[in-house]
Structure 1
Amino acid sequence: VVKRIFQMCAEGIGPTQIARTLENDKIYTPTMYEFKRTGTRLAGLNEELPYSWSVRTITDMFENVIYLGHTLNLKTENISYKDHRKRIRPKDQQVMIENTHEAIVSQETWDIVHKLRDGKRRRTKSGYKSIFAGILFCADCKSKLYFVSGDSIKSERFHFICAKYRKKGRDNCSIHSINEKVLYEIVLEEIRRVTEFARERTEEFAEYINKNSETQLKKDLKDKQKLLDKHRKRLTEVSTIFRKLYEDNALGRITDEQFQMLSQGYVEEKKQLETDISELETIVAEMRIKSGSSKNFIELAKRFTDIQELTPEILHTLFPKLKSTKKSRM
């Protein structure tokens, strides 16, 4: 069920639609499933509505790293040394221990879901949401392109314009307008053409991409990747140390106070490593795009064959960012 929920989201289906689908398919809610399995009555259990999934339950699942095989610790703390009631700690003070159990959701699916969630598509007055919303950018000012539909339900009128132009006028940027229907046809045809080229003429495609990569960019990419690998290795070491401390605490070998004292330094280091890794991953990803990561693209091209229509999954996997020039050429 968890895999299905994440896959539906990766395909562009929203939490409300997912909840409705699960209810129609008579899939037990988590609390009802646990009650049927163990007889435990968890908070929120409603035996009269065993299939009534809430949107909150769905969205909470998208943030739960347990499905990636990780464990989140130090989630709560006492209000004070006198008041032992629990409260949720800020996210930056919680500690994630990686690879504590088998993952249910792949990292790739998780990333696609979060890209879609981070760039939530705004529903217009007409009720329509564009699959391009959140990934279209102005080539000149770097602003996102704003989706315009008004009250119209006619797709011919749907279009994108530069958000900076819309907000501040033509003195700051040009309109960069492009019709969504035209854009759809252009992108679909381009994806078909490029993926076929990558599959059928692999060596020629790789040569074309690689010859357009600059030597210095490749060197910088190698250096950044080396630093990223070093940070990832250290993060794994810190996670292992923290896991052992956690086990010692759980088994009573060390007290809660000792655990807090011993783990504090690693908590700070882990937070810094995660921040550095996140920044480096973004830099490396952008550099790979610039230098032409032909091998990765060829592998993706082999996955997507006979593409009949665009989906959020295809778009975010193959082309996570599109730019529009003054002449509306992507």
Structure 2
Amino acid sequence: MKAAIYCRLSKEDEDKIGESESIQNQKSMLLQYALEKGFEIYQIYSDEDYSGIDRNRPAFNSMLQAASEHQFDVVLAKTQSRFTRDMELVEKYLHGKFMEWGVRFIAVVDHVDTNDTASKKSRQINGLINEWYLEDLSTNVRSVLDHKRKEGLFIGSFARYGYCKDPNAKGKLIIDPEAAEVVRRIFSMALNGIGAHRIVRILNDEKIPSPTAYKQLHGIHYRSALKNTNAALWSSPTVYQILHDQVYIGNMVQGKHKKISYKSEKTIWMPKSQWIVVENTHEAIIEREMFETVQRMMQERTRSGEKGTIHPLAKKVVCGCCGSCMEQTGRQPRADGTQRRYVRCRMHQRAPEVCGNRTCTDMDALENAVLERIRAYAAAYFDPEKVTLPEQDDPIRRREQARRDELKRLKSEAARRRKAMRELYLDKVSGLIDAVQFSEMNQTFLEEVKKAETRIDALETELEQRQEETGGVQTQRQRVRELAQVSQLTRELVVLLVHRVIVSPKDPLTGEQKITIEWNF
């Protein structure tokens, strides 16, 4: 009877129980057990630095593939938790697939044996306990991070543009003088009535590096993974983000999104009321009064209507003939006492010879058309029944997973090298090797560790940047989910989604009028 041996060790396990659960200890125990039972060893599968909830363990999946091909008869593990801490996998394999494949599972320390049908309930309870352990661990880690956030400590990978991490105080930000001067200038231009688009042109014309380019110029492994963008140039969203960010008045704002579960890498955007805001955690670049004035100016950038409110489509409706903004014109009373509003081309009113679009368009009908298009688009985009997002075939996801796999491997290698260095020192102290041998071998290990750590830093930076950038998309999607439920068209919804609404003249034969919406995304 052939037996496959499976061993696993994660960082959490290593820190908690040390050498007793080491890979070598597991192998020795299971080999001895197999020898006593007369099992022939098919292969030893080993995963280091992998959690028991991780379904992408390479050796684990190789073993399952071999099991499905009937390459062996028994799987040996030290405990059921070494095999998996995921209750779903316990049910799927121990009580499902393994029975179909004729594979027996034995956990030596737990006395788990799938041939013993009477112990099924105990295996299930064991699986629940293992999963609860991970859930508690995740809760504890999240509590620690939330505590740091509430203490006003910065836990992100990259400081905001204008700041850098304090090398002498972990979790603190200090002003980056060069970038901070650009931030002050951006606020000063906004205070003088200069719009974000013009600010962008000024900065790009003067060849001032964008935040991404600035980080790269200063040796920070930071790059944009967004498609069809020039990270070296400033953009309006970047300027808007700076003008709205409380970090520049000394406030730390964190906890904007969180993972939906310890089993998933997906995150959700948190309501603004649940963000963790701690005031006066670091030196401000912008005075609070100036910041608040700029906020009011940005809110009032578009001219208000008669009742002091900004029309939802203000400066968004343009003529399909000449591209000029369309403006509200005459009103017509309805039977219910309300008034029907119209819009028409401003250029046609002032120079009919330039634009021949004389059509007057019902503003209420236009608003309803835009709202219905937004609802339809949002429903189609976010309904999981209508949209299938690529998983395994997505090149970006595959590259990201490859980076994660490489990161785990490098961390494991670096840990093994450090352990080897400790053992090498003990050999020197014990007289097993002389000083020259120790120096040469130790130097080799140091170089290997340094090389691994350099690559680890680069990979972690790339993965953190990818997470931050996808967080922006998730933020917008979550906000659209909230706003798309409103019963009427709002300015906030239009500003978020709509670049402009193009209204073409009515067809003289059919009377139909084409309305085209250009989106912001």
Indicate the structure whose relative CO is greater, using CA pairs within 8 Å and at least 6 residues apart: 1
TM class by shorter chain equals 0.3 to 0.5
Q: Greater strand percent: which structure?
A: 2
Tell me the TM-score normalized by structure 1: 0.37
Tell me the TM-score normalized by structure 2: 0.24
